[in-house]
Structure 1
């Protein structure tokens, strides 16, 4: 099959390693990021790739454009904003949105792109283990209304990841992503409940984490993002987690299913948001649990198989956990 010209927009914590997966497999990407330094860094490491200009026409020769951006609003602005690229994409091209977006907004966006003879495929990501995105181990959930568009981009998706799941029509990828995140949020809330309760009853929170990780309570937060308690450097913002819960609440309500848990989860996390600074790490949500419980979770620094209890301070992990 003839090689496709692939454009890539968004080289953040997730976008950079995912784009690198394609570059390592021979794709000559045309890349752009809001921070030009990220693009410079990328093309210096992968010299067969090129930097896109800021012109709206910069992606006009691309067969496929991948967006990996913070949310659907940013995706829409990149496509249809004042300097949007959508009107300059060639007919028959495909946009792959890997961002975490509302499935309803995705369907609306797909309709607008269809008027320009451009197809939209939603393919958000998650991961089962730390750094899976670095070695094609991420999980892609894919939605498309066009069998031809899906067939066209499938080789690209498989070069990004070995775990590619077609979910159905346009928006189903984002539906699966938001439900995945909703399940994960449930584990975060239960973990915060357990940690403050355990400490009030005399348990060591770090030992609790160790027990959970070899018990039925194990989850991504216990294994990775909250394993080193109060490090607060997972690379995923609390604002984004709140955004994801809002989307999940909307999806569940629109399905006609009634559940009180989405609203309760959203309330707890929005309360947490009031206590932290803008841009705070999602793991800082524990602060509102501490406030309600009247306790301060003890901090433990890990060194090999040993632990050292601290009552204050923060010990950074070597690199962000990247919670998706």
Structure 2
């Protein structure tokens, strides 16, 4: 019996951002060191989105750039920094001086953010965790609250335990290695909370290095981290995670991470960088082309093939 044709959800990055990201939205951008959706952030900047609440566990360079472009009014995060290479100049200016505009900042632990996504994905009213006991985070974040467990603790008495609220972004944007046209998305190497962030969201856009034929995805189903029914749009955007890396496609651009601290320390220099590399490029393909093939050759990776797996089938 022939399988029904899969829905084709392919859009350009410009189309996906125009359709799914609106002023005032809560927008999740996830990817943990690996597969950071930088190209998506750049397109949000190009389209001039404003007053966004950005939810990102590890707020890094792409958040700094979106702040400098005036896209973000609230940041929800558990880490801010330039990934072991220095500071985020624009974010520091917003938090420390309130210039050129103040930034509302909601701080959680890494696990607290994971629990928020889990609660959002499961449509739960909150998620319990122990890790805030003894922490001073509850003093700066009133959303960290305690509830009484309905079950007795080790001493037989009801236990007080911290909980975090769910997060349900208006849209989640993630980067991945590959997907089929319907949105079945595969990730290998270092994974983060991409799947949880997608399931928690009202709508989801997956940006990938390549869109592959359906049979490629079906040949290795265990690598499918995000299923098609959770995805609203699929965008092919090669090298769209730069300066982070995509396992098997290109390496991390460590030189850029080191340079960013110096770029972002000076507000005018940062805005000049945006003018040249984001506003001055029509789309991510133009950004990639401006860097040049010699540059990309320097980030090329060798093969490290996985052995085939025999899933078996009926004879």
Q: Shorter-normalised TM-score: what interval?
A: under 0.3
TM-score, with normalisation over the residues of structure 2? 0.27
TM-score, with normalisation over the residues of structure 1? 0.26
Whose relative contact order is higher, 1 or 2, with alpha carbons under 8 Å and at least 6 apart?
A: 2
When you count strand as a share of all residues, which structure comes out higher?
2
When you count helix as a share of all residues, which structure comes out higher?
1
